[in-house]
Amino acid sequence: MKRHLISAADLSRDDAVLILDTAEEMARVADRPIKKLPTLRGRTVVNLFFEDSTRTRISFEAAAKRLSADVINFSAKGSSVSKGESLKDTALTLEAMGADAVVIRHHDSGAPHRLATSGWIGGSVVNAGDGTHEHPTQALLDAFTMRRRLVGPDAGIGRDLAGRRITIVGDILHSRVARSNVHLLNTLGAEVTLVAPPTLVPIGVETWPCEVSYDLDAVLPKSDAVMMLRVQRERMNAAFFPTEREYARRYGLDGDRMARMPEDAIVMHPGPMNRGMEITAEVADSDRCTAVEQVANGVSTRMAVLYLLLGGSEPAVAPQNNARTEENK
């Protein structure tokens, strides 16, 4: 693994499988009476959040604390950033405090990359979502959830998602979750189809390793997992579709549509959900919907990422000659 996790595209297939396997062991710690490991004692993890987030920040905080790291939460609101401090000066402050890892969420695409490559800080940088660019740990927890549900928690160890058909539905244009998922799922051997109104498909999508469709009903029967993205109302100022009702009718997932999916197929949602918009309550509350599971899996996956980046003298080296590599290719 590289020292930083900026993009899901930075991960090789072996790196990604190592993270998922490690997350599987971390998940078992959650079943113990003492949900804590001494592994990162004395390490400091800074959560640097320039943009609002509850679940991602809490998830990273829980992950770092379960590994006994010291956690410093830094949110732009109520900090020197609101007085005009630059990213560079903030970074130098964190470096002076001895941060071993900086988990950064920023409204500008590329901010984590700048932080990692500028030489301002010596620790690892983990991208927790930057603008409309990437959100690699979300993609990892999604892949982890898919592997657990579609392959099995024990059967999945060492395996990737070869041949699984994943459909991502909704606002692809603004979605960093979709970008990271397309990269990671492609690395793991899955076949990805994006479904969205033409106005919400980004320019240049033809260079992505995936298919694009405008017709949800045609794709659903051929999907092992359907990932519904949130309609980001705060970014819908440019009238990307006529009305919310029309969007829900054409691209929303309701009980009838779910019934047309293969029997074992799952419904995923990164949260927060707009019930009645991209997903109906009936679907959101069914046992095929993994939204709540994804939150729990997020902690395990982030524990795995922090452990593999900080748990040694340098980041983990994925085993190169994985015996199962060939059969899964």
Partner 1 sequence: MDAVIPAADPARPVLEAPDIARVLTRIAHEIVERAKGAGDVVLLGIPTRGVFLAHRLAAKLEEITGARTPVGSLDITMYRDDLRLRPARALARTEIPGEGIDGKLVVLVDDVLFSGRTIRAALDALNDIGRPRAVQLAVLVDRGHRELPIRADYVGKNLPTSLRETVKVQLTEEDGRDSVLLGVRAAAPADGQ
Residues that bind partner 1 (CB under 8 A): 18, 21-22, 25, 28, 32-34, 36-39, 307-317, 319
288 is in an annotated binding site: no
- Using DSSP, state whether 165 is helix, strand or coil: strand
Taking each helix axis from N to C end, the angle separating 55-66 and 291-310, rounded to the nearest 10 degrees, works out to 50
93-96: long-range pairs with CB below 8 Å, 24+: 94/46, 94/48, 94/121, 95/120, 95/121, 95/122, 95/123
Q: Are 173 and 236 in contact (CB under 8 A)?
A: no
107 is in an annotated binding site: no
55 is in an annotated binding site: yes
CB nearer to partner 1: give 258 or 308: 308
At closest approach, how far in Å is the CB of 231 from partner 1? Answer: 39
129 is in an annotated binding site: no
Structure tokens at 147: 């592997």
Cis (ω within 30 of 0) for the bond into 272?
yes
At closest approach, how far in Å is the CB of 25 from partner 1? Answer: 4
CB nearer to partner 1: give 39 or 213: 39
CB nearer to partner 1: give 252 or 315: 315
At closest approach, how far in Å is the CB of 158 from partner 1? Answer: 10
CA nearest neighbour of 266 among 135, 165, 155, 138: 165
At closest approach, how far in Å is the CB of 298 from partner 1? Answer: 18
Residue in the block written with tokens 């660019």: 133
CB nearer to partner 1: give 153 or 221: 153
At closest approach, how far in Å is the CB of 255 from partner 1? Answer: 37
User: First vs last Cα of the chain: how many Å apart?
Assistant: 20
CB nearer to partner 1: give 98 or 319: 319
294 is in an annotated binding site: no
Q: Which residues are annotated as a binding site?
A: 55-56, 83, 105, 135, 138, 176, 230, 271-272
